[in-house]
């Protein structure tokens, strides 16, 4: 599966290990079933001057508005959220499950209009490719983590900041067809995310294996007391939490896991599109190097962990095990 960069102990995923499972309902959200990671760099490297120009333009507009004591512009630029309606929805929902849902499942090439072309272009940018790669990688590693416990009567998975839980639900549906029973507890502070996840679970035929809880991740120890998770995943949240707070939270997560339990989490890494994300998409995040990401799990008390990056090396996934 992986090429290993020995000195930093970072693995780079090359081919997703996606099993061929036909369930009929899989077609509902098909893109994650593609058998390769996305790696279209050149178009976005060659057009980088355009994205920088747009970034500077939006930066200037916002600076002027703020100096004049006015709110930020309703539309950042005609060439992103002006013409692109899906881009606009991503900007409005930045950092939420709704924005990720659009990026995960965008139907490329279906809208034959200028707006459709603009949506396709930006939802194809390297960061969006990397987010879809992350979903594929996460599914692969969640599946592997669950299979670690497949000799148990059932495997209990806790999804923190679950959002739509698309990856978890798709893996549960695959494994159900192979006779492996997974119970999942989905935790999020946003009830709309939990409602959407429930609906998705019904489409995939696993609604009876899912419970939802509207709570903060800070409640992880309390929630785990009765659920006793063997696998905990928390994706798309560390990117918003400062280092010390992240270490304390991951420490609580470790405490909540059963012995030999597995924890999966991820973080975005510095990349050339990060300023575009902040200014044009209104999506600010905490960018971490592999060493900073590793430090969180190590200082939280995990003795063993692996660090895998998707091929664009923008999103890194940590898989840690409690001894
Ligand atoms: C970027 S989305 C990630 C969703 C999903 N994990 C994924 O990767 O597709 C972040 C999610 O975290 C949730 N969230 C934010 N702060 C939270 C908190 N303190 N406790 C629980 N959930 C939180 C949001 O409601 C949102 O659904």
Where are the chain's structural domains? 2-37+134-321, 42-127
What pLDDT is attached to residue 27? Answer: 31
Residue 188 Cα to ligand 1 middle (Å): 6
Determine how many CB atoms are found less than 10 A away from the CB of residue 208.
9
CATH 3.40.50.800 assigned to domain 2-37+134-321? The reply is no
Residue 163 Cα to ligand 1 middle (Å): 5
Q: How big, in percent rounded to 5, are the helix, strand and coil portions of the chain?
A: 50, 15, 35
What pLDDT is attached to residue 7? Answer: 43
Helix intervals (H) in the chain: 42-46, 48-67, 85-92, 97-105, 114-122, 126-147, 166-177, 191-203, 220-227, 243-256, 274-279, 290-299
What pLDDT is attached to residue 153? Answer: 85
Residue 286 Cα to ligand 1 middle (Å): 15
Report pLDDT digits (tens) over 57-93: 999 999 999 999 999 999 999 999 999 999 999 999 9
Which of 131, 189, 283 to mutate for ligand 1's pocket (most ligand atoms within 8 Å of CB)? 189
Please name every residue paired with 210 in a beta bridge, in sequence order, or none if there are none: 184
Please state the separation of Cα 19 from the chain's center in Å.
20
Mean pLDDT for each 10-residue chunk of the chain (323 residues)?
50 68 34 72 97 98 97 97 98 98 97 96 98 97 94 93 98 94 97 98 98 98 97 98 98 97 98 98 98 98 96 98 95
What pLDDT is attached to residue 283? Answer: 98
Whole-prediction pTM value? Answer: 0.91
What pLDDT is attached to residue 138? Answer: 97
Dig out the tokens for 230 from the structure. Answer: 């063997």
Is the CB–ligand 1 distance for residue 161 below 6 Å?
A: yes
Residue 151 Cα to ligand 1 middle (Å): 31
Q: Which atom of ligand 1 is nearest to the CA of 100?
A: 9
Helix (H) and strand (E) counts in the chain: 12, 9
What pLDDT is attached to residue 34? Answer: 52
């Amino acid at each position: 599966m992986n090429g290993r960069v020995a000195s930093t102990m970072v693995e780079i995923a090359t081919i997703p290990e996606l099993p061929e499972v036909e369930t009929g309902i899989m077609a509902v959200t098909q893109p994650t079933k593609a058998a390769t990671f996305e790696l279209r760099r050149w178009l976005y490297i060659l057009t980088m001057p355009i994205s920088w120009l747009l970034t500077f333009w939006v930066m200037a507009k916002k600076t002027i508005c703020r100096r004049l004591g006015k709110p930020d512009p309703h539309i950042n630029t005609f060439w992103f959220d002006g013409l692109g309606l899906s881009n606009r929805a991503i900007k409005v929902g930045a950092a939420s499950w709704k924005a990720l849902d659009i990026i995960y499942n965008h139907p490329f090439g279906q809208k034959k209009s200028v707006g459709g072309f603009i949506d396709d272009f930006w939802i194809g940018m390297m960061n969006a490719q990397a987010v879809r790669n992350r979903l594929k990688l996460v599914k692969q590693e969640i599946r592997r983590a669950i299979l670690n416990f497949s000799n148990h009567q059932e495997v209990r998975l806790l999804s923190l900041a679950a959002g739509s839980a698309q990856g978890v639900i798709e893996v549960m549906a695959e494994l159900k067809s192979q006779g492996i029973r997974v119970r999942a507890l989905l935790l999020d502070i946003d009830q709309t995310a939990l409602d959407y996840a429930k609906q998705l679970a019904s489409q995939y035929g696993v609604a009876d294996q899912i419970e939802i809880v509207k709570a903060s991740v800070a409640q992880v120890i309390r929630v785990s007391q009765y659920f006793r998770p063997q696998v905990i995943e928390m994706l798309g949240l560390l990117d918003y939490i400062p280092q010390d707070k992240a270490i304390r939270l991951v420490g609580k997560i470790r405490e909540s896991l059963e012995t030999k339990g597995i924890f999966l989490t991820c973080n975005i890494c510095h990349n050339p599109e990060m300023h575009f994300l902040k200014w044009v998409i209104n999506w600010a995040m905490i960018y971490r190097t592999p060493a900073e990401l590793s430090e969180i799990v190590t200082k939280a008390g995990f003795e063993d962990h692996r660090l895998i990056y998707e091929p664009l090396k923008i999103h890194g996934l940590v898989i840690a095990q409690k001894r």
